[in-house]
Chain A
Amino acid sequence: MTAELFVQYLFAGITYGSIYAIVAIGFNIIYNTTGIINFAQGEFVMLGGMIAISLLPLLPLPLAIGVAVAVTMLIGALMEMIFIRWLKNPSVLRMIIITIGISILTREAAIHIWGENIRALPYFVGNEISTISILGARISPQVLWVVGVCGVMVVFLHLFFQATSVGREMRACAANRMAAILCGINPRNMVTLSFVLSAGMGALAGCVMSPITYSQYDMGTGLAIKGFTVAILGGLGNSGGAVAAGLLLGAIEAFSVSVVPLAFKDAISIAILLLILFVRPHGIFGSAEAARLKTF
């Protein structure tokens, strides 16, 4: 493999890896505040891209993306308020099935609104043939957008949880719900907020990735399972681990294309998921005991 090709694969890996990391962090945010794995996480990404595409004829691109993210956040909030908020001590099985149901309904709504066509946002800068040269490899500038935006989101989230009072309240709820209630925090609002946050992140990621990877009504399931793989790989609830694991999975996928047929690409990442679940369900970066601590 030539050095150029290597860099080419590497950047492909980083691009997808950033997206996976964002989906995984979305899982983590909701998991930390509720203990729920939101199977509809991938649908946020789909919704963000699709709504932005629909708004594009009416609005300039940045505004379309902004509105799409806002609308997806609103949908996230509604999901939580309609389906989850009022359940008292639901079992894990029940929550799994409900979020799966939400994901199906979202997907089915999408197919009736947007059809089965593959769509895409235009490239933010230039077009599909414009490239920039890095270390001899030719990279689309959109790749930098994806990596940049995802990076900014991670930094923003970190600051949000560490430096704002709302962020601290969410951490308090994650650490000890009962104690948080006694301190006057309403955990329900924190749960809604966690859905809003992870919906917004997913939607923004869905917008920046759309020019490269396209958007389609059924992209959510695949993203969800890969995002979950990454979340597990990095240790469920641990967002720093998710970034590292996301880039790792992205790279593995990208390089696997040179070894096995493209059709098996998804099977590989799922096989990794199964392997990790069997061998180290607490993630490759964490220990079993640390996995019980929830960090954003």
Chain B
Amino acid sequence: MKRLLALLPLVLGVILVQILATYTGKQFYLTQITMAAYYSLLIIGLCVLMGYAGQISLGHAGFFAIGGYLSAALTTRNLVVIKSAGWVRLLDACGFLQGGKDSYGGDLLVVTPWASAIFAVLVAALIAVVIGIPVLKLKGHYLAMATLGFGIIIYRLALASPWLGQADGIAGVPPFVVLPGLVVRGDAADRVQNYYIAWGVLLLGLFLLLNLIQSRVGRALRAIHGSEEAADAMGVDIARFKLQSFVLSAIFAAIAGVLLTHFNGGIGPSEAGVMKSVRFVAIVAVGGMAHLWGALIMGVALNFLSLRGVFGSYDDAVFGLILIVIMLFAPNGILNLLASPKKGKVNPAQSETRQEV
């Protein structure tokens, strides 16, 4: 209960923003906040991986894209022409398919958003396991390059596969009916509803992760960050904990990808780009690395500004600059500059000695 209450100020803030936006007739802001909230879901997941487990990933846009692209591809692929095939009938019998009409009035048979979303997230998790087992044995530069390489491969695949729409990406992704009456889609009429869906998902994610870091697992993760060797000698199975946080953050990224794709009605290869991954890392760094609240606030704020086009053609440059300035002057994040460091927080700049790679 106490833990839920901690979220209360944020919940009130979220409601306040909605009321203000509606009252002042600036509801279109809510659309960008909704998108920013989905990106922030990825960012808080990455925060656990980077800030607590101490593992950098320059490839998280890849997991976002796996979630988004798979869900988009499955829910737009028309199976009508092969509807007599055995496996299609089997999927239909399981209730994984839904019919409909395309814009020309032709028959449509596609995978339901729920089935495709679950499938997409599971695939992302599976890929995270397969990639994570070897990758997480690496340290420092090697880990950074390996995850960067993973991200680029996903980007290239998205760009090269006709099935994924190549440079155009996939458009016409149907709305995601989460529950009857609760629909993820970008229509202006559903703005307020989607604003709350996005925040609901994000707050749920935050709540789960806050619980995680305050638990035995969170302690073990911070111990790994503090001294890998000593944590190992305390019986912490380092490889397993690193892998689990990697998979967890990949799942968060994939869920974000799925939801944002349905909200936007499509996805393009730029979502898988290296710059996106770097941007996520930048935001986690600004938030203070091991600071879920910081990651969330910075995630929403910076993504909102970026989506509003405040940075203009200097969008990527701004994030590059943020990265450098934060790492040079405030490696613990700007929130830690303002507030005095509280107890029990990992201090990445101090805890990490220069490791020999």
Contacts and interface: CB of A to CB of B under 8 A. Distances in A.
| Direct A–B contact in the complex, CB atoms closer than 8 angstroms | yes
Most buried by B among A90, A104, A278: A104
Contacts of B148: 225
A179 interface: no
B145 A105 contact: no
B56 A93 contact: yes
A273 B327 contact: no
A204 to B, nearest CB: 24
A105 B140 contact: no
Interface stretch (A18-26, A145-153, A244-252, A259-267): A259-267
Contact of A274 (B58, B149, B156, B274): B149
Nearest to B137: A278
A271 B134 CA distance: 13
A228 interface: yes
B24 interface: no
Contact of A261 (B141, B160, B319, B320): B160
B228 interface: no
B282 to A, nearest CB: 8
Contacts of B92: none
Interface in B241-297: 274-275, 278, 281-282, 285
A101 B152 contact: no
Interface string B138-162: 1111101110111011001101100
A91 B141 contact: no
Nearest to B323: A101
A225 B149 contact: yes
A294 to B, nearest CB: 11
A87 interface: yes
Interface in B311-339: 313-314, 316-317, 319-324, 327-328, 331
B222 to A, nearest CB: 15
Contact of B352 (A91, A109, A112, A225): A91
B343 interface: no
Contacts of A39: 144
A87 B328 contact: yes
Interface in B331-357: 331, 348-349, 352-357
Given A92-B357, A108-B316, A277 B156 contact: no
Contacts of A228: 145
A96 interface: yes
Contacts of B54: 93
A105 B324 contact: yes
Contact of A225 (B142, B152, B317, B357): B152
B142 A270 contact: no
Most buried by A among B54, B145, B321: B145
B153 A101 contact: no
A267 B156 contact: yes
Interface residues of B, number: 50
B39 to A, nearest CB: 18
B141 A105 contact: no
Contacts of A97: 56, 281-282, 285, 323, 327
Contact of A277 (B138, B281, B282): B138
Contacts of A266: 152, 156
Contact of B320 (A37, A92, A108, A277): A108
A83 interface: yes
B134 A278 contact: yes
A274 B150 contact: yes
Contact of A91 (B145, B274, B353): B353
A96 B146 CA distance: 13
B227 to A, nearest CB: 14
A92 B160 CA distance: 34
A96 B149 contact: no
Contacts of A107: 316
B56 A98 contact: no
Contact of B355 (A92, A112, A232, A277): A92
A43 B331 CA distance: 25
A101 B320 contact: yes
A277 to B, nearest CB: 5
Contact of B156 (A87, A94, A264): A264
A89 interface: yes
Nearest to A222: B152
Nearest to A228: B145
Contacts of B313: 112
A234 interface: no
Nearest to B281: A97
B275 to A, nearest CB: 7
A274 B277 CA distance: 18
Interface string A98-117: 10111111011100100000
A35 interface: yes
B354 A35 contact: yes
A105 B149 contact: no
28 contacts: A37-B141, A37-B145, A93-B348, A94-B331, A94-B349, A96-B56, A97-B56, A97-B323, A98-B324, A100-B281, A100-B320, A101-B323, A101-B324, A105-B321, A105-B324, A108-B317, A108-B320, A221-B152, A225-B152, A228-B145, A270-B149, A270-B153, A270-B156, A273-B145, A273-B149, A274-B134, A277-B145, A277-B146
Interface of B: 54, 56, 58, 134-135, 137-142, 144-146, 148-150, 152-153, 156-157, 159-160, 274-275, 278, 281-282, 285, 313-314, 316-317, 319-324, 327-328, 331, 348-349, 352-357
The 3 closest A-B pairs by CB, nearest first: A104-B320, A263-B160, A108-B317
Given A107-B316, A278-B134, 15 more contacts: A37-B144, A89-B353, A90-B354, A91-B352, A94-B327, A94-B349, A96-B144, A97-B282, A100-B320, A101-B321, A104-B278, A104-B317, A104-B320, A263-B159, A267-B160
